[in-house]
Amino acid sequence: MLRDEKLSPIFANDFHVHTSYSPCAKIKSEATPLEMVGKSEELGMKTIGFSDHFVQFPPYPTPKWKDCNVKMIESLQNDVVKIHTQVQILIGVEADVVAKDKLSIDKRFAKELDYVIVSASHFHLPGIEKPKSTNILDIAQHYVNRLKIALSFDFVSIIAHPFKTPYNPLGSPLDYLNKIPLGQLYDIAKISKQKKIAMEINAILGIDKDYLTAISDFIAVCKEVGVKFTYGSDAHNKTALVPSSGIEKAINALNLKPSDFLKTNELIQNHKSAFD
């Protein structure tokens, strides 16, 4: 994106942004909350949603995340109150489905946040339950089952990078997504719609052509059913907040319009309504 070009409204609200508190943010000085907000201001963003990895209690998806707890969120909150900006800053988390019927966050703490992203597909991490075999049908059903577990919690706001595992340890999304019957995709979409849980359009779609091809049917089904989407850069440094030309093309290829995306006040409202 060129500096003078106006930011597309889709990228103006980025709800999946890591800070230096995430262990995987390698260049800490390029990912402090202040640096991230500064960059978002420069880009003309309206909302930046911080969503560091979060594990409230053991078991840990990876031992590296043992300090990604309530104290970490308190530190982040303390940093954020000191930042003066026009950009709306939200504090969320990227939590995990760690095992059957088990998230890395509970409802009581979720209430303290602006929203909750859940990843149901971090299968590259040692502490996340794997499929029962390497059979492609078992892999496909494992993705479906874990996603359904995430959707069964009413305080979940967004599913992170649906059906995508970093580094593809279970094979290409093209292989396992092809093995999920269309009816199951409709089931997932209907539950998401009913629970007001959004599906994330992750910036990795701008780079990973297999994921883009594989996910297109699911995105079309979600759109048809009326599920909303959110954009997530998944940035771990400030440069990654800049939308690539690839992600713009991917969003066009998926036929998504700004009206398909959740607005900031809708996200906050959906989250609040889980605690009424």
Residues that bind Zn ion (CB under 5 A): 94, 119, 160, 234
Q: State the minimum distance, in angstroms, from the CB of residue 198 to Zn ion.
A: 15
164's CB contacts (< 8 A; 6+ apart) are 121, 173, 202, 204, 208, 211, 215
Q: What is the helix (H) or strand (E) element at residue 267, kind and residue range?
A: helix 264-273
Q: Write the DSSP symbol of residue 123.
A: T
Minimum CB distance to Zn ion smaller for 135 or for 262: 262
The least CB distance from residue 113 to Zn ion, in Å, is 15
CB atoms closer than 10 angstroms to residue 19: 26
Nearer Cβ to Zn ion (117/177): 117
Q: C-alpha distances in angstroms, 185 versus 53, 141, 196, 221, 226?
A: 27, 11, 16, 7, 13
> What's the CA gap between 117 and 91, in Å, rounded?
11
Is 168 or 190 the residue whose CB approaches Zn ion more closely? 168
Residue 93 near residue 49 (C-beta atoms within 8 A): no
Provide the minimum distance between the beta carbon of 166 and Zn ion in the complex, in angstroms, as a whole number.
7
CA dist list (Å): 236 to 2, 59, 96, 233 = 21, 24, 18, 9
- Residue 235 Cβ, how far from Zn ion at the closest point, in Å? 9
In the complex with Zn ion, which residue's Cβ is closer, 64 or 190? 64
Dihedral of CA 117/178/62/241: which sign? negative
What does the alpha-carbon distance between residue 81 and residue 89 come to, in Å, rounded to a whole number?
9
Please name which of 92, 94, 109, 267 lies closest in space to residue 197, comparing C-alpha atoms: 267
Task: Tell me whether residue 66 or residue 108 sits nearer to Zn ion (CB atom).
Answer: 66
Residue 53 C-beta: closest distance to Zn ion, Å: 7
Nearest CB to Zn ion, comparing residues 194 and 239: 239
- Shortest Cβ 237–Zn ion spacing (Å): 12
CA distances from 160 to 28, 136, 217 (A): 23, 22, 17
CB 221, min distance to Zn ion, A:
22
Tokens of 234: 């998944």
Minimum CB distance to Zn ion smaller for 168 or for 186: 168
3-state SS class at 241? helix
